[in-house]
Structure 1
Amino acid sequence: MITKNTHPRWEKRPQGSNWGEFGPDDQLGRVNLLQAEQVLKGVKEVTAGRTFCLSLPLNLPGGNALNPRRYPPRLAPTQLKKDHYINFPLATHHPGLLDVISDDEVVLSLQYSSQWDSLAHVGALFDADNDGHAERCYYNGYQAESDIQRLDSPDAHSCASHAARLGIENMAVHGMQGRGVLVDLTRVFGHKRTIIGYTELMHALSELDVSIEVGDMLVLRTGFAEAILQMDGFPDIEQLKQTGAVLDGSDEMLLQWISDSGISAICADNYAVENADRALAPTDCCKLPLHHHCLFKLGLPLAELWYLKPLADWLHANHRSRFLLTAPPLRLPGAIGSPVTPIATV
């Protein structure tokens, strides 16, 4: 049943969504559950004082084979007139100075490596204003063009983008910190490609003796990022298609569990979190049904390509699954995704 509501941007919301439940102008979705109580729960998990970096090197996976639209970061010195500021002696312009300056800039695909998806990343065609015509919209009824903007240049040869609503800076300002709970799918299912639906996830939770509570950030180790790291910048796509667990976004019971569990985010070490390689059936309405359910319906952010092995090994050796997770994205206004250097503290 589609919920009807008098609302500034929508008259009806998608079935199973939580649009409006955090307020008519909410831009955080389930991130709203990361409040002081969750931070304190995470802090209580810190007993050893050890930290783990959960990011891959941001120049991995390497090349653009995983996604032809995304390229590795390109570093270059900043420039002023004809001067390139790398190993630059200030004495060139000010005789007698001893300073040597290096200063750089980067061209970076924001979702190339370890990353967060903002809620502006995936929307859908949906008749939110109930006029009989589907329009492009995003979580909480925010609209394409007016809220998620493509800004064409006058010469039509280039364009800019700007998420005036739902941009990644909302997550940065709120602070992505709370209790993380690791589910080590690799320890249960091995490193081969395994499709994880509700039944498989429940089996893993039972096998690992992991419990998840409202507000927790669910962290999934699949082994995919470990394979990326071993490939050292030259990803073997065919091998990667056979590597690591992926969630089955077509499993309605799994999607319902995500809704009912009250988790605030899903963070994984694989690409896309869900099975992006599945063949589309004639009845499918979404290429990425998990993204549709999480980002579009629930406002539940997804993180990809994190590196989890050292943390997973430590937690296993110490019979634990919970930790303090600190993972703010860049405070880059209008951005749709962001690289991230998550830190787990145990």
Structure 2
Amino acid sequence: MSQEIPAFHDLPLQGGDPPFSAWGLWENNQLGALNHLTDENVLKAAQEIKTASLDLDAINPPLLGRVGFEHKLIKKAPRTINDDVISFNTQGGSQWDSFRHFAYQADKKFYCGVTQDDIHGEPKSAVNGIGQWAKMAIAGRGILIDYCDWAKERNISYEKLSTHAIPLEDIKSIIKERNLTIDKSCVQGDILFIRTGYMEAYKQLDSVGCEEVKTRFAWPGIGQSLETTEWLWKSQFAAVAADSPAFECTPCVDEKNLLHQILLAGWGTPIGELFDLETLSEICKKNNRWSFFFTSVPLNYSGAVASPPNALAIF
């Protein structure tokens, strides 16, 4: 049975909790909004039956001063055998953000009141990590909002490697034009993907351009507003993702509705970033179909802050 969802105006659910938080909504808090992906809902999504992950070293040099991908090839002489060792920041490329990535900044509390002491105080602490996601896998109906192509069709010009707040009204227009339905009469727990064109533009950069972009804290994404927050709550997505480094517009245009803290710390909704949506966009256009069966199996280790998605869109 579907979980009864409180009205947006009832948030936060408990007095004294941070704004818009829904702590305590789910029986299994470690899954958050992924609780929507019940066996029943996954079976419904599977009736609609290319990779959506970047190469681990695709963003080079890494953004925001993060450690880059390193690959060591080891020759096991005298026998004819090879091993290899890789090292990388889990937020260096395509990734899911876990609930231990971003807290309510004023309250200094992560999803369901978890603190930095809870995360760092115990060896091998797994609270709010990705481990449980990996054990169940993420599987459900994905929908693509291809804002990049939609804007091109309407001669809407914007800088794909800089700040651009995608209006909620444009998102709604795309949903209507693509005949997509997002409400409780549909498969509850859709996985939302927004193509901003960031990766399309990034792939065209030369080495000088990549060096310039690596420290730029300015990206396109859905624009923050109270209306956007309310729409996201009513839509009850199991997860959201984009091809840009933050999903939401950066810098934020409405600090009270900063989506990282509301989605991750408030609702337990995973955020995917830097997904490779270029091939997916081409397939959707070819088939005139903007929904698909989506699967993702994050890395399975205790206490993960983020993980490559190992993602597939299946038509």
Shift of 1:276: 1.8
CA distance in 2, matches of 1:276, 1:237: 17
Q: Which of residues 20, 35, 60 is equivalent to 1:62? A: 60
CA distance in 2, matches of 1:315, 1:197: 22
Following superposition of structure 1 onto structure 2, how do residues 72-83 of structure 1 map, counting pairs within 5 Å? 72-77=68-73
Aligned length: 293
Aligned position for 1:187: 149
Shift of 1:53: 1.0
CA distance in 2, matches of 1:170, 1:265: 15
Q: What TM-score do you get using the length of structure 1 for normalisation? A: 0.77
Aligned position for 2:234: 260
Structure 2: segments with no counterpart, 5+ residues: 1-9
CA distance in 2, matches of 1:16, 1:56: 33
Aligned position for 2:126: 164
CA distance in 1, matches of 2:218, 2:196: 8
Q: What TM-score do you get using the length of structure 2 for normalisation? A: 0.84
The superposition leaves residues 16-65 of structure 1 with CA deviations (integer Å, 9 ceiling, x where unpaired) of 22210113x6111101001112321232111xxxxx0111111121013x
Q: Which of residues 284, 287, 304 is equivalent to 1:335? A: 304
| SS of alignment partner, residue 88 of structure 1 | coil
State whether residues 114 and 340 of structure 1, in contact with CA within 8 Å, keep that contact through their aligned partners in structure 2: yes
Q: 1:19 to 1:241 in 2, by over 3 A?
A: same
Shift of 1:315: 1.3
Shift of 1:209: 2.8
Amino acid at match of 1:57: D
1:173 aligns with 2:135: yes
The superposition leaves residues 81-139 of structure 1 with CA deviations (integer Å, 9 ceiling, x where unpaired) of xxxx325332xxxxxxxxx111011111011001110011111246xxxxxxx5x2111
Structure 1: segments with no counterpart, 5+ residues: 6-10, 47-51, 78-84, 91-99, 127-133, 152-160
State whether residues 11 and 22 of structure 2, in contact with CA within 8 Å, keep that contact through their aligned partners in structure 1: no
Amino acid at match of 1:53: T
Structure 1 consecutive aligned stretches of length 4 or more whose deviation exceeds 3 Å: 1-5, 236-245
Q: 1:60 to 1:219 in 2, by over 3 A?
A: same
Q: 1:229 to 1:42 in 2, by over 3 A?
A: farther
Aligned position for 2:190: 216
| SS of alignment partner, residue 235 of structure 1 | helix
CA distance in 2, matches of 1:185, 1:4: 33
Larger Rg: 1
The superposition leaves residues 224-243 of structure 1 with CA deviations (integer Å, 9 ceiling, x where unpaired) of 11222233665264699799
Amino acid at match of 1:211: T
Following superposition of structure 1 onto structure 2, how do residues 114-133 of structure 1 map, counting pairs within 5 Å? 114-125=94-105
Aligned position for 2:114: 142
Q: Which of residues 77, 98, 106 is equivalent to 1:88? A: 77
State whether residues 163 and 335 of structure 1, in contact with CA within 8 Å, keep that contact through their aligned partners in structure 2: no
1:207 aligns with 2:190: no
Aligned position for 1:317: 286
CA distance in 2, matches of 1:3, 1:53: 37
Q: 1:274 to 1:237 in 2, by over 3 A?
A: farther
The superposition leaves residues 203-234 of structure 1 with CA deviations (integer Å, 9 ceiling, x where unpaired) of 22223332224210001111111222233665
Q: Aligned Cα RMSD in Å?
A: 2.7
Aligned position for 2:26: 22
More helix by share: 2
The superposition leaves residues 220-278 of structure 1 with CA deviations (integer Å, 9 ceiling, x where unpaired) of 111111222233665264699799741112x1100110001111100111111111234
CA distance in 2, matches of 1:326, 1:122: 24
CA distance in 2, matches of 1:34, 1:3: 23
Shift of 1:198: 1.9
Q: 1:2 to 1:211 in 2, by over 3 A?
A: closer
